[in-house]
Structure 1
């Protein structure tokens, strides 16, 4: 039997969406598979447990006070459970705060699915996710971010000032990304954000993961069969 070809992992830029696929990104899951994540109760789990048996869509966010991350996760929360179940995929959000910030963030966003934190940013760093922000004239605004930058930053600062523990719930300079992986260590897709608005559209991620429907995030989630 012929030897299976290794998976091709690619970075898709906003300019390339709808056209060709961008340059390859070297994702070495063996470097991070044993890194620990923490759930809302403070229990640890190795990263590999999140994709060992099922395909997993993993969203790495900047920090839990970031307005764009909040609004992106609010739209993730609108994905119907049956859409994920029918495609047999896990949806996982990973942040970089202390674990005790998870519960308030889920209450704020209404996010009902799996969520973990990497407070030392080991996975972010080992995978090569970017720090600092790069904005380009050709970048398209995220369809999931409704607030303007000025008002969004004011909301983030206000939430920091009024939270029981005054901190920014993660490194303010760390950018996030999205990875589709599994079952096992097969990486199907990756995207590393260049700035706070550089999220992969959720419908793109779901379709790349095998979802056959398109969701409407403009108001209440409704499924458009295509």
Structure 2
């Protein structure tokens, strides 16, 4: 695995310059799956973990030690209250254990476009049990067909807070990180969800505006969790929690090791 010394250098976060119509409606994007050539182009691009260590993007969905089906979620900048709401609702609706217990063992990975130093704050704020990486160059976003916009679109069901609360939360979060306040990522970048099965991308949904992640109920359907009832999310879980040691996420390898009988 490469280290931070060989990691891609982050591009400066573009200055936020809203234009007329930036906050209205949605933009046209396709949900076409990436071609084999597209995946070849992005496979060796690097993503960074919280320690700044890098690994090729393809290792997140096509490696021997991971579950055969992987949902990779691209979020916006690390201070985006909309994406944080999405991950809170998602994390309360599906657990690593439930995903790995599916007929086709499944897992989730999250990728943001800010500096990797902000990953611990993001994981703590969202209570996300899934691994989070950073692509500060945004090359993956670009080559996989995701776009940039500030358009809000309509309020999705996964959001339990208002635009005002999200905006205030984002401001306080960014100010609270001190020197990292301007390193959350491109404010206009939007993401999407990409499902990989046995190394092939089989389903895609790209965001059309800043609040256009897939609804969690739709993701449950795509992943085959419809037969179970999701727990009710605590509506006040948007509060920023004190920093605590993060629980290690379950992995396919760890689940398999737990299922092995004890040695005689």
- The bucket for the TM-score relative to the shorter chain is 0.7 to 0.9
Distance 1:173 1:112 in 2: 26
Q: For the Cα contact (< 8 Å) 2:147–2:191, is it kept in 1?
A: yes
CA, structure 1 residues 97+37, in 2 after alignment: closer, same or farther (shift >3 Å)?
Answer: same
Residue 69 (structure 1) shift: 0.9
**Matched pairs, number:** 195
Residue 208 of structure 2 is aligned to residue 194 of structure 1: yes
Helix, strand or coil at the partner of 2:222: helix
1:183-203 deviations in Å (ceiling 9; x for gaps): 11x211101111121110123
Identify unmatched segments of 5+ residues in structure 2: 1-28, 235-264
Q: For the Cα contact (< 8 Å) 2:42–2:57, is it kept in 1?
A: yes
Residue 32 of structure 2 is aligned to residue 25 of structure 1: yes
CA, structure 1 residues 23+66, in 2 after alignment: closer, same or farther (shift >3 Å)?
Answer: closer
Q: Corresponding residue for 2:147? A: 130
Q: Corresponding residue for 2:84? A: 70
CA, structure 1 residues 57+24, in 2 after alignment: closer, same or farther (shift >3 Å)?
Answer: closer
Distance 1:26 1:81 in 2: 25
Q: Corresponding residue for 1:37? A: 47
Which has a greater percent of strand?
1
Residue 26 (structure 1) shift: 4.8
Structure-2-length-normalised TM-score: 0.68
Helix, strand or coil at the partner of 2:195: strand
CA, structure 1 residues 24+161, in 2 after alignment: closer, same or farther (shift >3 Å)?
Answer: closer
Moved more, 115-124 or 69-78: 69-78
Q: For the Cα contact (< 8 Å) 1:62–1:170, is it kept in 2?
A: yes
1:24-44 deviations in Å (ceiling 9; x for gaps): 515122221111101112111
Helix, strand or coil at the partner of 1:187: strand
Alpha-carbon RMSD: 2.1
Residue 116 (structure 1) shift: 0.6
Superposition map of 1:81-160 within 5 A: 81-87=96-102, 88-134=105-151, 139=154, 141-160=155-174
1:81-113 deviations in Å (ceiling 9; x for gaps): 221111211100100111110011111111121
**Greater C-alpha Rg:** 2
Structure-1-length-normalised TM-score: 0.79
Runs of 4+ in structure 1 deviating by more than 6 angstroms, as ranges, are: none
Q: For the Cα contact (< 8 Å) 2:61–2:70, is it kept in 1?
A: yes
Helix, strand or coil at the partner of 2:128: coil
Residue 66 (structure 1) shift: 0.5
